[in-house]
Chains A and B, each alone.
Chain A
Amino acid sequence: MKGVWHLAWRYLCFHKYKTLVLVASIGLIVFIPTGLNVLVKKGSEQLTARAEQTPLMLGRVGSPLELVLNGLYFQSDTPPPLNFGDYLAIKDMDMGQVIPLHTGFRSRGFPIIGTRLSYFSFRHLALQEGRWLGFLGEAVIGASVAKETGLQVGDTIISAPETAFNLAGAYPLKMTIVGVIGKTSTPDDDAIIVDLKTSWVMEGLGHGHTDLSKDDASGFILNQNGKSIIANAAVNQFQEITPENIRSFHFHGNNGTYPLHAVIVIPKDQKHSALLQGRYQSHAALQLQNPSSIIGKLLETVFSVRQYVLIGAFLMVLSAGAMSVLVFMLSQQLRAHELVAMKKIGAAKSFVVGMVTCEIVMVLVSGVLLGMILTLLSEKYGLVFLQSIIVSGV
């Protein structure tokens, strides 16, 4: 019996490329349906988990899915902004905790989240290094941001200019990293978190510049009428907030009109949750959504699509299986001479059949093992991949 296995093994080793292609085909045949199931299952669990941790989300009227996906995962298009005044209004209702989110900027492809310190405790985030936000212009980065960019505490990061050719638009802001968040395997790993006011500085709503009241600033003054000073275009605007210039930073206009993209709402209890949802149910400008229910609807769509994908995968599996059988059959035809010679020398028909069977068994077992390994890997590492597909595809 050992001779049968030895000859089969030697055949497969000699034709290593053909063997590898067959093993890979069978591996994929196993992996595609099982891996897809695992990915969808684990992905939906993670999507649902973050949504379930976020009781309600307030945003501007528009796409509920866009609001929830942006507020939870910082993905998809930025939803239309609501006003800071809307945040203050729901806060004043005193029905629970409210956390503002500004998600309009990015740096090196990572989202910059303007929020309050309460966000860290709400998401149970822990520092791996450094400290939490203390001053305007500081940033705390997620574990993946630190890993992928190599940035550490003390380094600086610059926000991407949103309107490079618009003089009135947002200018890049250089921020100092003061902390790195420990890995959470959530979208917070990919986030750069700053104070809400820092986001508004990026918006151009707040700024710092040369002190125009000083005697040596006369060259920057266009017009002065009592305390009202109008600077000319030569005034030096700060692109970085430092201990030296932080006092010069100030905001213009009514902060109640400043933009936010979502507000996380954590009602005190079920009753307050119901009251809040009732109040915003027919609001003309705002929507208060339950992320869990929105993600549930999204997953229903994903699951219904999965059925079609599985049917497609099944057809692919059938065709790949048929191709593998064809390759085996053609191989036997090509080997007819060799197999006849073995029989002439003295091999029984059962020996030849056994040898070919051993080859098929070895390829099948290797292929199935490969498929299982791929499935296990996808279970462990495929979540972020799946999440990005689902979220970016919406």
Chain B
Amino acid sequence: MGDYLSIKDLEFSYPDNQFQLSIKTLQVRRGERIAVVGPSGSGKTTLLNLIAGIVLPDVGTVTIGGKSVVAMPESQRRQFRIRNIGLVFQNFELIEYLTVLENILLVDYIEKPVAVMRVERAKVLAEKAGLSGNFYRYPHQLSQGEKQRVAICRALLTEPSLLLADEPTGNLDVNNKENVMSILLDYAASNDSTLITVTHDQNLLHLFDRIIDFNELIAAMEAGER
């Protein structure tokens, strides 16, 4: 099985601060489940943003399924992200004025004409996530766990081959953590999708195939500087 995601000689820094991220090489297979751990501010979220093409590296390449995210024009990169990458945020990032069903369909509102909107798929996803009674409720009427499940359903609507989850269990209690992780892992397993999850939760690490520790990355960077 070849590499699905490949990062080579990547360097990134924000223009207005000292932060710098360097990754010599990172290769991820299709269907692999990876946990990214490390201290706050070490660049874990930035790594997810670089993979998704939300921000671009100063140098280096990010390749997904054989296509260079960096080389794509902006509009193509956006389309690629919509069709291939599912994003789950720590703070859910639900749209307050849309119902549960509309939030799940957000990508379709952004991209598709109404006639081909995946309403049935959205309903099936919501039902699987235990949200069947909440289709027409608003985010402020949901619990934290329900909000994260809506955010996951939104990420899964497009049947992405790559799931990027930024601390998806960070704001949840134990029961909801397990629930949310099982939804993500089940989806990844049944669709042969790659899952990269940023987490601080040591208790969840056994669920993943591989762990990328940013402590080691930082140490390597510091050694390189010396």
A-to-B contact residues, CB < 8 Å: 2-3, 6-7, 10-11, 13-15, 337-338, 341-348, 351
Contact = CB atoms under 8 A, between A and B. Distances in A.
Contacts of B114: 2-3, 6
Contact of B110 (A3, A10, A11, A338): A3
Instruction: Tell me what chain A mostly uses at the interface: helix, strand, loop, or mixed.
Output: helix
A346 B97 contact: no
Contact of A10 (B89, B97, B107): B97
9 contacts: A3-B112, A11-B97, A14-B96, A338-B96, A341-B89, A341-B93, A344-B49, A345-B81, A351-B110
Interface in B69-123: 75, 78-79, 81-82, 87, 89, 93, 95-98, 102, 106-114
- Chain B at the A interface: SS class: helix
B124 interface: no
A343 B49 CA distance: 12
Q: 5 tightest CB-CB pairs across the interface, nearest first?
A: A14-B97, A3-B109, A346-B82, A341-B93, A347-B110
Contact of A338 (B95, B108, B109, B138): B95
Interface in B1-56: 49, 52, 54
Nearest to A339: B95
A344 B87 CA distance: 8
A11 B93 CA distance: 15
A2 B110 contact: no
B98 A346 contact: no
Contacts of A351: 110
Contact of B98 (A7, A337, A343): A7
Contacts of B138: 14
B95 A346 contact: no
A2 B54 CA distance: 25
Nearest to A346: B82
Contacts of A345: 81-82, 87, 93, 106-107, 110, 154
Given A10-B102, A344-B54, A345-B107, A2 B113 contact: yes
Given A14-B96, A341-B95, 12 more contacts: A2-B114, A3-B109, A3-B112, A7-B98, A13-B97, A14-B138, A342-B110, A345-B82, A345-B93, A345-B107, A346-B81, A351-B110
Given A10-B102, A341-B89, A346 B96 contact: no
B98 A10 contact: yes
Contacts of B81: 345-346
B54 to A, nearest CB: 5
Contacts of B78: 346-348
A3 B108 contact: yes
Contacts of B93: 337-338, 341, 344-345
B125 to A, nearest CB: 16
A343 B54 CA distance: 8
Contacts of B97: 10-11, 13-15
Contacts of A6: 109, 114
A2 B109 CA distance: 8
Contacts of A3: 108-112, 114
A15 B98 CA distance: 11
